[in-house]
Amino acid sequence: MNDPVAYLDAIKLRLIASPIIAEYRIVKERATRTDGYLRVRATLVNGDSLELVEAFERGRSEIVVLDYRHQWMDAVQSRLRRRWDGAPHHPELSGFPHHVHAENEEHVIAGHPMSILAILDELERLT
36-68 residue pLDDT tens = 999 999 999 999 999 999 999 999 999 999 999
pTM listed for this prediction: 0.90
The total of other beta-carbon atoms located within 10 Å of residue 17's CB is: 9
pLDDT in tens, 79-115: 999 999 998 888 898 889 999 999 878 888 999 889 9
Alpha carbon 90 to chain centroid, angstroms = 19
Supply the pLDDT for residue 2: 84
Closest to 70 (Cα-Cα) out of 92, 94, 38, 96:
38
